[in-house]
Structure 1
Amino acid sequence: MKLPSATVAASLVCLIVAPVFAQTPPPAASTGTVPVPATKRVTCLGSTQNLKGQDKRDQLQLCMAQARVDCLKQAIDQKVVGEPRKTFIKTCVGGDATEQQ
């Protein structure tokens, strides 16, 4: 009689454990791509997407000016000076606002 009890117990364990293993996600496959963080320029373009004409240009200029100020503050906090500061700000902002107008 012990043999059927052991079989029943083993079956119950399998029934309990199998769903747990089924719920664990498979390991993520590496695609070799690295997500690119959105620049302040992309954020500004997105925030003015629903506007048209002069309103869009005005809001884009204001947003980009604020982005430059934010990047300048960051450069000052990190004590970046000279030519590296210009490069830092350009990289931080993500380009010039006049490129796509």
Structure 2
Amino acid sequence: MKFPSATVAASLVCLIIAPVFAAQTTPSAAPAETVPVPATKRVACLATTQSLKGQDRRDQLQLCMAQARVDCLKQAIDQKIVGEARKDFIKTCAGSSDGTAQR
């Protein structure tokens, strides 16, 4: 009867040690550095203005992108991003790939 108790003991050791090794090998992300999905807000603005034509479309697209930049600025402020990093964050967040996010 020693064999089954040794197997049970070995199984318990494996159950205790396995999560410790799993926790050590999992990379942890820094909570303060949120990377936005590029162009999501721009694509959303383009989609919402798709049914419009001419000046109405341009006006609505401009308003939508301005609101997207304001939302990104609020997010940068909440995350305490400052300086050049804030400017880059807003450009990336709003989806302005050509660097014209602040026009």
Asked whether the two chains share a fold, i.e. TM above 0.5, the reply is yes
CA distance in structure 2 between the partners assigned to 1:65 and 1:96 by the alignment: 15
Distance of aligned partners of 1:49 and 1:65 in 2 relative to their CA distance in 1, 3 Å threshold: same
Q: Distance in 2 between matches of 1:42 and 1:87?
A: 18
Runs of 4+ in 1 over 2 A off after TM superposition: none
For residues 38 and 92 of structure 2, the distance between their equivalents in structure 1, rounded to whole angstroms, comes to 12
- The aligned length equals 63
C-alpha RMSD over aligned residues? 2.1
CA distance in structure 1 between the aligned counterparts of 2:61 and 2:97, rounded to whole angstroms: 11
Higher Rg of the two aligned structures: 1
TM-score by length of structure 2 reads 0.56
1:88 deviates by 0.3
Partner of 2:47: 46
Q: Does the 8 A contact of 2:41 with 2:93 survive in 1?
A: yes
CA–CA separation in structure 2 for the residues paired with 1:38 and 1:68:
12
- TM-score, structure 1 as length reference: 0.57
What fraction of aligned residue pairs are identical, expressed as a percent? 81
Provide structure 1 residue ranges, at least 5 long, that are not aligned to the other structure: 1-35
What is the alpha-carbon distance in structure 2 between the residues aligned to residue 51 and residue 81 of structure 1? 37
